[in-house]
Chains A and B, each alone.
Chain A
Amino acid sequence: MKPIVQATQLQFGYGTHAVLKDVTLSIYPGEIIGLIGENGAGKTTLLNLMLGLFPANHGQLQLFGQQPGAPIAKQKIGAMRQNDMVIRGVTVQEVLYLAAAQYPEALNVTTILKSLDLTAIAKQRLTALSGGQLRRVTFALALIGNPDLLFLDEPTVGMDTNAQQAFWRRIQQLKAAGKTIVITSHYLPEIQAVADRICLLRNGKIAFQGTFQALQQQYQQVEITCQTALPVSSFKDLPGVTAVTKTGPQLQISSEAGDATLQALAPILADLHQLTINRESLTDIFVHLTKGVLA
């Protein structure tokens, strides 16, 4: 399958400060990419380059076979930037009608207002909206052109729980409709739940790209809990085990090589009751990967 976004050895910086270093990334039709990283890792800069707001200092970048910012590429892209536009003197529906008029295959304004639960505030001025409402309007503006590729930069910041849930439902619908979505977010459970692939940026470089399962394979820390009559000494020397604690019949094993430890437990599985295995979440792995940087 041909990628719709192809970035090859992208470099970008301000003066001597390099923000992105040799970023190579392919994005394929219909997938959701979770772009994660610490503050300043280069996520928003990478999105800005893809949108064509700034040219890369070095490397190649193409969207739909076009240079970023080319009119054909613009028609197929929707962007939800970090900052919401607060335009004075206009209402929600007025700004949506304006946006819809700019795209050849725009969605119906009334439909989008309904689908994003914005009908009640359609006639309100943008300046009168709350942060969460503005965020939803920004999402509507990103969708109104019926784009094939969506860039969502910290989309759920400021949204209440209901709005967040509705947002993620909408993302699943868009995925089902074959849309390609690139999301940056600091809410990693959200990314873990929806992203087909994760792209982890660290210090301007791609530290990992692939599925969450592949990331978990690389970082095999697991917590195993069970009830057993076996002594602690039976578990201490198992491969990968870093700590074993026992309180009554309750046993807790920490391992940094989950697969190897579980394989070693297989022969005594009959003696282990109420077994639970907790693999690391994306948040755990993210903290693990970045703690050296933050320390």
Chain B
Amino acid sequence: MNAWFERFKFDGRRLILRNFSFQFFSIVMPAGFYLLFTKVMVTGNVPDSFNVKYMGSMIVYSGTINALFGIAAFLQRDREAGVLQWCWLSPAGIRPYYLSIGCWSLLMNMLSVVVLGGIAIGVNGVSLSVAQWGAIAGIAILGQLSTMLLGVLMSFVERTETLSVLSNLITFPMAIISGLWWPIALLPNWLQPIGKLMPTYFINDWLGRVATHGTMVPADILGTGAWMISLLLVVIVSVRLLLKRSDGVVWA
């Protein structure tokens, strides 16, 4: 327990407290976008439903940035610095390491719920029940698991430059076509079905329904579950393949 707690403290310091860019891109930027698109770049009265839905979108966007930029780069940097190898050589192995990073990623996601929820309540006058807020937090965590697994998978890319390109190529198109930045109905007809298959779409839709109507549809739950299980399997297979490679790429 002491080993785990030290690990958790250690990762919290370097991943969150002393990592301003991670805080900025995961929390400040989505919060800024939320204010921009609900207060600054609007005319007249914005419907409450838009304020609520857009809050959900920015929560998902925050989690996506957190996982696909922050966590993926962090894990890759650790691998290059020999941290992963060092953890593996310790008696506890690498599981506590991944668990600790995962917990911090989820906590950051919860922080984004608090910050964006705070802005929604304080600035935009959004009013939701306690049950709705609880559901939003739970769904955000579930959604974060999928994107986090995708981030872990991306961290196996060998070169930093490749990861950077990959993060941009995946995150922004995925955010756009799954309707995080603007409603999916505004996209071309041929693109909408593709957007509706993205993991971020399922979570965003699920959050939006819970926040606006207090309802949910099975498609969102199934879609999220399917992405989570598929990515988990791919991560497990990838780790095993990398560990089997005798050139030690996984250890860098």
Contacts and interface: CB of A to CB of B under 8 A. Distances in A.
Interface secondary structure of B, over-half rule: helix
A90 B77 CA distance: 14
A187 interface: no
B129 interface: no
Interface stretch (A69-77, A229-237, A287-295): A69-77
Given A14-B247, A53-B251, A54-B246, A102 B14 contact: no
B82 A98 contact: no
A98 B246 contact: no
Contacts of A84: 82
Contacts of A54: 246, 248
A86 B7 CA distance: 17
Interface in A43-70: 48, 51-55, 57
A75 B92 CA distance: 9
A89 B92 contact: no
B82 A90 contact: no
Given A74-B89, A101-B3, A102-B91, A85 B83 contact: yes
Interface in B1-52: 2-3, 5-7, 10, 13-15, 17-19
By CB atoms of chain B within 10 A, which of A14, A48, A89, A141 has the most? A89
A71 B7 CA distance: 18
A88 B14 contact: yes
Interface residues of B, number: 29
How big is the A interface, by class? 20 to 34
B77 A88 contact: yes
A83 interface: yes
A95 interface: yes
By CB atoms of chain A within 10 A, which of B5, B82, B83 has the most? B82
Given A75-B91, A94-B13, A86 B248 contact: no
B167 to A, nearest CB: 18
B90 interface: yes
A54 B246 CA distance: 6
Contacts of A286: none
Pairs of residues from A and B, 4 with the lowest C-beta to C-beta distance, nearest first: A89-B14, A101-B6, A89-B18, A102-B90
Interface of A: 12, 14, 48, 51-55, 57, 71, 74-75, 77, 79, 81, 83-90, 94-95, 97-99, 101-104, 141, 145
Given A54-B248, A87-B78, 14 more contacts: A48-B248, A52-B89, A74-B91, A83-B82, A88-B14, A88-B19, A89-B13, A89-B18, A90-B14, A94-B13, A97-B6, A101-B7, A102-B3, A103-B91
24 contacts: A12-B246, A14-B247, A53-B251, A54-B246, A57-B246, A77-B89, A85-B81, A85-B83, A85-B86, A87-B14, A88-B14, A88-B19, A89-B18, A90-B13, A94-B10, A98-B6, A101-B5, A101-B6, A101-B7, A102-B3, A102-B6, A102-B90, A102-B92, A103-B90
